[in-house]
Chain A
Amino acid sequence: QVQLQESGPGLVKPSETLSLTCTVSGGSINSYYWSWIRQPPGKGLEWIGYIYYSGSTNYNPSLKSRVTISVDTSKDQFSLKLSSVTAADTAVYYCARDPYGVGPNPWGQGTLVTVSS
């Protein structure tokens, strides 16, 4: 069964760009949608956006100006970049597969990213 694993820096300075990668194993990335979701400490889930394996993207309108999601099918990886981060972007970031673009499943274990100087 497919498994996902997030990786990237756990600490990012304010105004810089947050960069995370999700590695997919146990299945090919050459189908489906691939999502990023985040969860600030003690708060709820927020959908960031997703990319179709072919490269088309869709983003949360509230984050759209700062978000870029890309895919590297040769490495079975997809990535998230969030620019101009502030403390409000501190969260656990999850990657997930979304088979039909209507609800993510399964999810990676998540990675905490803290924005602080």
Chain B
Amino acid sequence: QSALTQPPSASGSPGQSVTISCTGTSSDVGGYNYVSWYQQHPGKAPKLMIYDVSKRPSGVPDRFSGSKSGNTASLTVSGVQAEDEADYYCSSYAGNNIVVFGGGTKLTVL
């Protein structure tokens, strides 16, 4: 299976909303409601921000939200803050007990 497609970069000024896309196929993103989003700061392990497309783990700020339409999932940061500057990765279940990741998006807070 191929990696999911994410834009290499995204940016926004503090307080703005930023959306990052994650495009797959009907065999992964479009076929299951098992999309997760991870935040990774430099030198750190990834941290789960969204799971099952739109669910937020305890402790994750509610400015982070997820959605899906067809084969594309999206992560939206509403009111982006300086500490949100990081790399973001999506993942999806791809059937047959396989998980696939996206290539990652670097979010820059201007």
Q: Which of B3, B57, B96, B97 has the most CB of A within 10 A?
A: B97
8 Å CB interface, B33-65 against A: 34-36, 38, 45-48, 51, 57
Please report the C-alpha to C-alpha distance between residue A106 and residue B103 in the assembled complex, in whole angstroms.
20
| Contact (Cβ within 8 A) B91 A103 | yes
* Residue from the list A46, A103, A107, A108 in contact with B34, Cβ < 8 A: A103
Q: Does A44 contact B (CB under 8 A)?
A: yes
Residue of A nearest to B96 (CB): A58
- Within the assembled complex, what's the spacing in Å between the Cα atoms of A102 and B99? 6
A to B contact number (C-beta, < 8 Å): 62
Query: Apart from A58-B97, A102-B99, A103-B35, what are 10 other A-B pairs with CB-CB below 8 Å?
Result: A45-B38, A45-B46, A46-B101, A94-B45, A94-B46, A103-B51, A103-B91, A104-B91, A105-B36, A105-B57
B residues bordering A, Cβ < 8 Å? 1, 3, 32, 34-36, 38, 45-48, 51, 57, 89, 91-93, 96-104
